[in-house]
Every structure is written in C-alpha cells, then in structure tokens.
Amino acid sequence: MRRGIRYVPQGMQELPAGYSVLGIPVTLRRDSPHHARTAGFFGMYWIEVNEHFFYLPFDEQHAILLHECGHVRLHHLLFRLLLLPLAWTNWVKTLCWKQEFDADTFACKQGYARPMLQYLRRARDDTASEYHPPPSMRRKAIEFFMHNGVPLCESSC
Ligand SMILES: [Zn+2]
C-alpha cells in the first residue's frame, strides 16, 4: 500500500445473474429504504437489496445478507405473519427485537461477527424502533458473542 492512499475494500458492484446466498435468491429493489431485507411468505423467500448496498465493503455485504438468511432459516417471517393480529402487543415487539439479535447471531456463527459489527458502527443514528433494537444494543450483543463464543441471549431465553 502506498503511503497516504487508504485501501477501500470493494464490494459487489451489481448482482450476478441468479445470485443467491445459502440457496436464498437475492434481488435488486432500488427504491427500498433498507440495505437488505427479507421478503416472501410460506416457503418462498428472497432477499431484496437497494442500490446503496453496492457501496458497502464486500465483507459487510455478506454479513448483512447472512443476517437476512438468518431471518429465513429461523422462520422469522412466518412467526411475524402468524402474529400479525398481535403486532401491537409488547410481547410481539420484544419477539421482533429478539429476532434481530438471533439473525445477527446467525451471521456471527458463519464467521461474520467483525464485518457485522463494522456495518452497525456505520449507523447514523442509534434510535430504536418498535420492531428493531438500536444499533448500539446489537453491537453489544455481537461483542459479547465475539468474546464468549455464545450468544448473549438465545431464542429460548
Ligand atoms: Zn433483521
């Protein structure tokens, strides 16, 4: 590396045709507000990425795709669909927060704890939403996993 020139890791510039991760198709939805999100229902799932996704470093792209794979593999969307009538309850909101931690743990278990942490450090604001924990809480849970090799909290707790 030449002095003064910072290495900028390059990510995917576009989706290769038929691209999938762990058998889950990845599609482009330019106008999506999320870098990546899972969509689908009853066994038909896919991951949508927006155009900002392509500006992320390659390892962070993979980390967030694996986070989305975690949502699919752990059947989170099915739970959310079934619990839709109770979506306003604190119980379901708590469950949704736990699903985010579990999806992060899934990515961590694939070896992507550090890139997931880097990605969450980029978060511009640290506010929680009703269904999403704040990035700082997710970072703490990932750091716990990195230091202890076990999740801070499994689905059963
Ligand atoms: Zn998620």
Walk me through the domains of the chain, giving residue ranges and CATH numbers.
20-148 (3.30.2010)
How many angstroms does the Cα of residue 85 sit away from the middle of ligand 1? 20
Reading the chain (157 residues) residue by residue, the pLDDT tens digits are 455 555 556 788 889 999 999 999 999 999 999 999 999 987 899 999 999 999 999 999 999 999 999 999 999 999 999 999 998 999 999 999 999 999 999 999 999 999 999 999 988 888 888 889 999 999 999 999 999 988 877 654 4
Taking the model in full, what pTM does it have?
Answer: 0.89
How many angstroms does the Cα of residue 100 sit away from the middle of ligand 1? 5
How many angstroms does the Cα of residue 3 sit away from the middle of ligand 1? 38
Own/partner contacts of 20-28, CB < 8 Å, gap of 24 or more, are: 21/47, 21/62, 21/65, 21/66, 21/68, 21/69, 22/66, 22/69, 22/73, 24/68, 24/69, 24/72, 26/65
